[in-house]
Chains A and B, each alone.
Chain A
Amino acid sequence: MNDFLEETSSSENLMARSGRGDTHSFEILVRRHQRSVLNFIYRFTGDRIEAEDLAQEVFLKVWHSAPAYKPTAKFTTWIYRIAANLCINKQRSDRIRRLFTVPPSRKEEEDLENELSADHATKSPSPEDLLLVAERKRQILNAIQQLPANQRVALVLKRYEGLSYKEIAKIIGCSVSAVDSLMVRAKRNLHGKLVSQEKKSQVFPR
């Protein structure tokens, strides 16, 4: 198969070829979608390493369901649905596990410390600024993490992936008006959380 043809063929076509065991088509498919899948999960979980693991799991699922794949929906809709389900299931199992292990706040603190020291290690001009940026980023990610799962899926797909309400509705499996109200609630929740964090830490001058 001509490389140019492969690069320009639709994801649905690449998927059909992957289903027949064509690893070259599968590789193009992975490279085409790895960034958006990874970042969707990163914004959902707030954890870079976990995002890499889950993104791998998404594409593992894609590979194994390729032989039975029927292009009834857009490929991106389908793959985001897999990613969202994986994220929600992972969160559920994590919550159950946390009941029996150390409180989660400790891990988050460690993450922040690691991130801050990593930023220091790059020896950029102003450590204070970097500290502020890193903490701000962490607080925004934390605020997203506190949203209920469906609100979070809708918000991340809209804000970072730029999908329409119609596409988000297909991914979540609800109506367009339901997505609308998810978005309203997500934005109100987020605003409340970010403003209260602003007041608490004074990290967010307005």
Chain B
Amino acid sequence: MSCRNIKKRLSAYQDRELSSDEQARIKSHLQGCPECSALYADFQHTWEMLGEVPEIDPAQTFYLELRKKIAGFNDRHFISRLRQVFQFLPAPLTTATLVLAGLVIGTYAGNFFFQESLISHQGLQPRFSRLDVSLASIRTFDPIPPGTLAHGYVRMASYKGSAH
């Protein structure tokens, strides 16, 4: 083998990546060739210097920190999913949707408890169907119940109005 071919393979020779035949052939060439063995010495010197960079130890808390990040990622993921759901709605529409949902849920809950109390007052046999109760509650719905702050305000306003 020529010196040119040897030099091409010196790196692989150093890394023990050649067949055992080739390793042996290059080894014997290096023993008799000062030029190639000088190049090989350079490689070896560089390789040894790289060994001066010591290994570092992972922090004791490495795994714990990782668990925290995983938990944090899940939280952020949930919030970003929520945002994805609402991102197509403009802010006023989002608010209106939420208020409407609140009203519907509130009405249902209110009806439910109202009817339950009717049933318990009038014994086991309910006199009104759920629909009757719902309709009744809507018919008797007073937007400004007496005794509330709003009621007082309305009275004040109407008093002022009549004074003119």
Contact = CB atoms under 8 A, between A and B. Distances in A.
Given A158-B15, A164-B17, A206-B45, A137 B66 contact: no
B63 A31 contact: yes
B58 A38 contact: yes
Interface stretch (A6-14, A85-93, A182-190): A182-190
Given A137-B54, A141-B53, A187-B46, A30 B73 contact: no
Contacts of B35: none
Secondary structure type dominating chain B contacts: helix
Nearest to B15: A158
A179 B8 CA distance: 13
Nearest to B67: A23
Interface residues of A, number: 40
B53 to A, nearest CB: 5
Interface string B54-73: 11111100110111011001
A165 B46 contact: no
A54 to B, nearest CB: 12
B62 A140 contact: no
Q: Nearest 5 CB-CB pairs, A to B?
A: A184-B11, A34-B58, A191-B46, A183-B11, A38-B58
Interface of B: 8, 11-12, 14-15, 17, 42-43, 45-47, 49-59, 62-63, 65-67, 69-70, 73
